Structure 1
Amino acid sequence: MASEAVIPRADRRLRRARQATLLSLATGVWATVLLPAVGLTREADTGRVALGAVGICAFAAAQTAVLYAAVTPWLAQRWRRRAQVGLAVVAALTVPLVAPVAAGAWPTWAWIGAALMGMAPLLVGLPAAVAVTVGTLLVSAGVAWWTDGSVGRYLAVTGGIGAAVAAVNWLQVWFWGLLVEARQGQAAQAQLAAAEERLRFARDVHDVLGHSLTVIALKAELAARLAPVDAERAGREAAEVQRLAASALTEVRETVRGYRAVDLGEQVAAVAGVLRSCGVRCSVPTPPAEVPQPAATELAAVLREAGTNVLRHSQADWCRIRIEREGNAIRMTVANDGADDRGPDEHSHGLRGLADRLAAVGGELRVRRQDEVFTLEVTVPVPS
């Protein structure tokens, strides 16, 4: 079928397991029908044979509906209750319909009782199942007394065969429940992975756009202020805005495509260039050449946020960026003067988000402030 092609492999396996469970349970159901049907062959009264056949077939149909509901987890609860109530009603009707069949010659209703007792663990909890079992045994003994049958034989068939049927049915449905739970666990794990990937992607897009748009806004504001008094410089700033916008668009496209590799040296140079263009003296020693790509990605994200904060939340005259390797870790320090008491706005990713991101890879982010000097220090582990 065409729909089969779009069903995940795990779901196809689960569907086949469900079909196998249904087939096995149905085989047991119809096996319990055959044994009561033996009584029909030993009954001379055609009226009793007809009524008995109706009762046996109705009980088998009600059993099938209940077992189908037991292995169909998406079925509405109201349909489960209706199937269970239907089985209870039909089981009660089998006493006058089936019990008189082959009275004294074959324990016809005892086999119905065994099937009903075998169904009890699938329908109700343990206390109720015990009550159903006791009630079924009492009814079986009463039917034996009413039809002049052997009470011991009836109880042996109902109790012994019923316990075996209950064990088989419970085991099969238990295994089916384990399969459903395992599949639900896989689905939950896949959803969690997708949510984490969406969060990572949103964070990366924020890191790229947050820094770029902040600089573009500042440059555009500067160009607007310079336009009436220095048209030439305003034009240069406007051209810089255009270049930054094109660069941001390229970075976003590369992020969306998922292959953006971070060159830490380029990122440091870009942030330093933006700071200098905004009048902040920037000191940047050459970063280590052997920074692994995962560490470079994390450091670049922090560097972009730090550069943005220098422009938005300080009146800095200078900024120092230092990156060095210390054993099995890369340490980056960003310090600037002119720190004020303003915090990031409500839409900012902020240092708390960066700290959470670094903690996920075993890194650490620390900040300190001394007078007007704000220092951000980041440590990211790297393989030895």
Structure 2
Amino acid sequence: MIATIVVAMTALTLAGFLLPALGYELLTRRDPVRAAFSAACVAAVLGLYGRLLWLNLMRRTAHGHRYGLAAIAVVCWALPALLGAGHGWGNALVVPTGLIAVVLPLRQAVGVTAAMTVLTPVYGVALGLPALSVLYEVSGIPLASFSGYAQVWFFHVVQELREARAELARSAVGEERLRFARDLHDVLGHSLQAVALRAEVAERYLERDPGRVRKELTEIQTMARDSVRDVREIVRGYRATSLRTELDGMSAVLRAAGIRCERPEIAPEPPAHAHEPLGWVAREAATNVLRHSSATWCLIEVRTDGALVRLEITNDGAARRAAGDAGSGLAGLAERIAAAGGEFAAGPVGDGTFRVAAAVPMERKT
């Protein structure tokens, strides 16, 4: 999508250089042969230019692109000589320079740009261009070359940053799955092994000591219930959820993604029952910042306000969010906080920032 916009805007810019001269041929001269020739040349230049720019934006570089650049340069430098340098055709001399640093390696691009900068005034004077037009062409060539290079470079940097954000988000999800798998293995592995051993003991005493068998079966039932409780605690995140740990992990992940984020001070320590719901808020907020915004900074605040423990997470990515693209997990967070008897709000603040605010009572809801 972004590449299409870049190519379209570049085509409009180039059209501003060539269409006035083409309009003169069509509307003033009214020579069918000249008009058809100039229209075909302009269409070919714009089409080939857009194609080469698109391929290089997509990193589909090829040695043959140099021939395309050479063809554009030949046509653009031939048009003023064939149709006359007046009435805007002199602008065509600048058109191919925007692709020089895009198609050619940087060192070669610098040499070619320098050569064109030197040759252009000589060629412009030979064509009879005014001195101001020649000066414009000479100054425009290095600027256009650098602009084309910077355009593609910035596009690639933005794409790499977006890919890095997506990878960090996937890594965060993967780490959470690994943590869950480790906890589940530790709890169920030990419990099921103990259940199996108790069952073997009960089998040995099945014929000799029914009382011992009943005792072992009772122990098996107790261990099974404890295992079910432990699994529920793992699923709900009680065993590993710490607000301080979640906020430390959140700030570390955001900083790794290039987002300015400091670890917050947490004083005094929130009550134990507040860690689980607020920890989920921190996890979901970090995921949303990485996946659904282009934030450059994120501010995390934890404070005790009367009978409530408040967590606020603010970032500057609201202006670049798509409408309604705040992350589907926010609805689930609202339900979790409501179940804990707290308050939850999330949305753009109005100054280009997006804020997630959650508050949990200091006293556990009964």
TM-score bracket for the superposition, by shorter chain length:
0.5 to 0.7
1:63 aligns with 2:49: yes
Larger Rg: 1
Aligned to 1:103: 84
Does the 8 Å CA contact 1:32/1:112 hold for their aligned counterparts? yes
Match of 2:94 among 114, 119, 139: 114
Match of 2:144 among 158, 161, 165: 165
Counterpart of 1:256 in structure 2: which amino acid?
V
**Shift of the alpha carbon at 1:59?**
0.5
Aligned to 2:288: none
Within 2, Cα distance between the matches of 1:118 and 1:62? 13
Residues 261 and 81 from structure 1, CA distance in 2 versus in 1: closer, same or farther, beyond 3 angstroms? closer
Match of 2:14 among 24, 29, 47: 29
Within 2, Cα distance between the matches of 1:186 and 1:240? 49
Counterpart of 2:175 in structure 1: which amino acid?
E
For residues 286-365 of structure 1, what are the structure 2 equivalents within 5 Å? none
Residues 258 and 104 from structure 1, CA distance in 2 versus in 1: closer, same or farther, beyond 3 angstroms? closer
**Shift of the alpha carbon at 1:154?**
8.0
Does the 8 Å CA contact 1:219/1:240 hold for their aligned counterparts? yes
For residues 239-250 of structure 1, what are the structure 2 equivalents within 5 Å? 239-250=218-229
Aligned to 1:50: 36
Does the 8 Å CA contact 1:43/1:102 hold for their aligned counterparts? no
Aligned to 1:127: 107
Counterpart of 2:180 in structure 1: which amino acid?
F
1:87 aligns with 2:73: no
For residues 187-266 of structure 1, what are the structure 2 equivalents within 5 Å? 187-259=166-238
Within 1, Cα distance between the matches of 2:21 and 2:178? 62
Which SS does the other structure have where 1:229 is aligned?
coil
Which SS does the other structure have where 1:203 is aligned?
helix
Within 1, Cα distance between the matches of 2:38 and 2:240? 78
Within 2, Cα distance between the matches of 1:223 and 1:58? 88
Aligned to 1:307: none
Within 1, Cα distance between the matches of 2:33 and 2:122? 23
Aligned to 2:295: none
Counterpart of 1:57 in structure 2: which amino acid?
A
Q: CA RMSD in A?
A: 4.2
Within 1, Cα distance between the matches of 2:138 and 2:38? 22
Counterpart of 1:64 in structure 2: which amino acid?
G
Within 2, Cα distance between the matches of 1:43 and 1:138? 33
**Shift of the alpha carbon at 1:129?**
0.9
**Shift of the alpha carbon at 1:201?**
0.9
Counterpart of 1:239 in structure 2: which amino acid?
T
Within 2, Cα distance between the matches of 1:126 and 1:90? 20
Residues 206 and 40 from structure 1, CA distance in 2 versus in 1: closer, same or farther, beyond 3 angstroms? same
Q: Can you give the 5+ residue segments of structure 1 that lack an aligned partner in the other structure? A: 1-14, 263-289, 298-384
Q: Can you give the 5+ residue segments of structure 2 that lack an aligned partner in the other structure? A: 242-268, 277-366
Within 1, Cα distance between the matches of 2:181 and 2:139? 63
Between 1:95-104 and 1:213-222, the stretch displaced more is 95-104
Between 1:212-221 and 1:17-26, the stretch displaced more is 17-26
Counterpart of 2:105 in structure 1: which amino acid?
G
Within 1, Cα distance between the matches of 2:68 and 2:158? 26
Does the 8 Å CA contact 2:113/2:145 hold for their aligned counterparts? no
**Shift of the alpha carbon at 1:205?**
0.9
Residues 190 and 118 from structure 1, CA distance in 2 versus in 1: closer, same or farther, beyond 3 angstroms? same
Within 1, Cα distance between the matches of 2:99 and 2:151? 12
**Shift of the alpha carbon at 1:253?**
3.1
**Shift of the alpha carbon at 1:159?**
3.1
**Shift of the alpha carbon at 1:45?**
6.2
Counterpart of 2:69 in structure 1: which amino acid?
A
Which SS does the other structure have where 1:227 is aligned?
coil
Does the 8 Å CA contact 2:102/2:149 hold for their aligned counterparts? yes
Normalised to the residue count of structure 1, the TM-score between the two structures is 0.51
Which SS does the other structure have where 2:82 is aligned?
coil
